Chain A
């Protein structure tokens, strides 16, 4: 089945220790997104790729970086995690509707704990 896969599902890191979260997709969608979702809050878009074009949201901290080496994979790097970065990180993909975004397909998320 075509899907969006995130690894790991649970990640524990120490304060200040770099961590990388990964996302892969078999849908062949050209747009990939990373969201941060804190408890009982809405997902907040961090950045997205339109093919290889990287689009950073204005309020995404510099501590967050992303890489998309090919269509299928996208990585989220947190360079120096702080306690406030503990959250669920969601990856999503979508087609391009030409004008506007199509529906997004989400992975199950990676829950990040920072000790």
Chain B
């Protein structure tokens, strides 16, 4: 399988705290993408980071990529109750290879 694990599987924090989610994978990739999914809804793209990039920011989101360790992390700063959702990483190894989502982290932000 191309994809490894995401951890933690579930994370519960208070509003205002930071949330960090990790993703590991097994093969070389072109890019890695993070998505959010609210319960019973479609996925929303958050950030795409290419294999030659180490860090990307978007608003309160910060994504890092370490290709030597085959891992990525998503940091959400100053979390809000509206950030409550499942967060998935997905790896793209190019056409002809699987595009695979990790098992996801369920984040609960308590008011």
- Measuring CB to CB, which residues of chain A are less than 8 angstroms from any residue of chain B? 4, 33, 41-45, 48, 50, 55, 57, 88, 90, 92, 97, 99-109, 111
Q: Which residue of A lies closest to B47 (CB)?
A: A103
* CB atoms of A42 and B45 under 8 A apart: no
Q: Which residue of A lies closest to B3 (CB)?
A: A42
Residues on the B chain within 8 Å of A104, using CB? 33, 35, 43, 45
A43-B88, A100-B95, A108-B41 are known; give 9 further A-B pairs, CB within 8 A. Answer: A42-B104, A92-B42, A100-B31, A100-B92, A101-B99, A106-B35, A106-B42, A106-B45, A108-B42
Name the distance in Å between A4's Cβ and chain B's nearest Cβ. 8
* CB atoms of A109 and B41 under 8 A apart: yes
* CB atoms of A42 and B30 under 8 A apart: no
* CB atoms of B31 and A43 under 8 A apart: no
Question: How many residues of chain B are within 8 Å of chain A by beta carbon?
Answer: 23
Name the distance in Å between A10's Cβ and chain B's nearest Cβ. 11
Q: Which residue of A lies closest to B29 (CB)?
A: A100
* CB atoms of B98 and A45 under 8 A apart: yes
A44 to B102, CA, bound (A): 10
A71 to B33, CA, bound (A): 24
Q: Quick check: is B103 within 8 A (CB to CB) of the other chain?
A: yes
A45 to B93, CA, bound (A): 14
Pick from B43, B92, B94, B98 the residue with the most CB of A within 10 Å: B43
A99 to B31, CA, bound (A): 10
* CB atoms of A42 and B31 under 8 A apart: no
* CB atoms of B45 and A99 under 8 A apart: no
Name the distance in Å between B45's Cβ and chain A's nearest Cβ. 4
Q: Which residue of B lies closest to A109 (CB)?
A: B42
Q: Quick check: is B101 within 8 A (CB to CB) of the other chain?
A: yes
* CB atoms of A103 and B43 under 8 A apart: no
A103 to B46, CA, bound (A): 9
Provide a sorted-by-A list of 14 A–B residue pairs whose CB atoms are within 8 angstroms: A42-B88, A42-B102, A44-B101, A45-B98, A45-B99, A45-B100, A48-B99, A88-B40, A90-B42, A90-B43, A101-B99, A102-B48, A103-B45, A107-B42
